């Protein structure tokens, strides 16, 4: 399979975003680096192999500026050494608005953003009976 095909199957576009962040479970806080972001998750890098609980919900927080920050509840999707992928489980309206704008500015294509938003809506759609 070529890389173009695998990228086309991806529901959410990733943006490369290098920023300091904190991941917390209420008892422990880990300093980390964001490597990439999407509307549905992120890839984080830690200073050493990450040892957190796989089945827990965490709060990821990072600042976009002095006045604007993003906070979201995340769960672990995969861990490879000092890198860990997290899936967004919940995000408040202020944070999703800021994240949407960040993704939009980095994608440079409003059609791609609208496709990501449609995919996000599908993720949270109740099962039809």
Lowest mean pLDDT among 19-23, 27-31, 35-39: 35-39
pLDDT of 113 strictly over 60: no
Whether 99 maps to a domain, the answer reads yes
Whether 6 maps to a domain, the answer reads no
Domain extent, residue 107, equals 15-123
Tell me the pLDDT tens digit for each residue of 46-99: 999 888 899 999 999 999 888 889 999 999 999 999 999 999 999 999 998 888
Mean pLDDT of the chain: 79
What is the secondary structure of 7-73 as a DSSP string?
HHH-SS--EEEEEEEEEE-SS-EEEEEEEEEETTEEEEE-SS-----TT-EEEEEEESSSS-EEEEE
Q: Are 57 and 69 in contact (CB under 8 A)?
A: no
Lowest mean pLDDT among 21-25, 80-84, 112-116: 112-116
**CB atoms < 10 A from the CB of 2, how many?**
7
126 vs 32 pLDDT, higher one: 32
Whether 112 maps to a domain, the answer reads yes
Q: What is the domain-level CATH number for residue 22?
A: 2.40.10.220
Whether 38 maps to a domain, the answer reads yes
Domains in the chain, number: 1
Which residue's structure tokens are 């000092």? Answer: 82
């Amino acid at each position: 399979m070529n890389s173009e095909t695998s990228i086309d199957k991806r529901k959410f576009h990733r943006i490369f975003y290098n920023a300091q962040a904190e991941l917390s479970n209420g008892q422990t806080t880990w300093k980390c680096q964001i490597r990439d972001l999407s509307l549905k998750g992120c890839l984080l890098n830690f200073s050493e192999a990450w040892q957190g609980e796989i089945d827990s919900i965490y709060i990821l927080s990072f600042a976009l500026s002095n006045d604007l920050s993003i906070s979201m509840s995340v769960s672990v999707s995969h861990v490879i050494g000092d890198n860990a992928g997290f899936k967004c489980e919940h995000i408040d309206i202020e944070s999703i608005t800021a994240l949407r704008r960040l993704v939009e500015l980095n994608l440079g294509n409003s059609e791609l953003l609208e496709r990501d938003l449609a995919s996000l809506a599908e993720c949270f759609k109740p099962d039809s009976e």
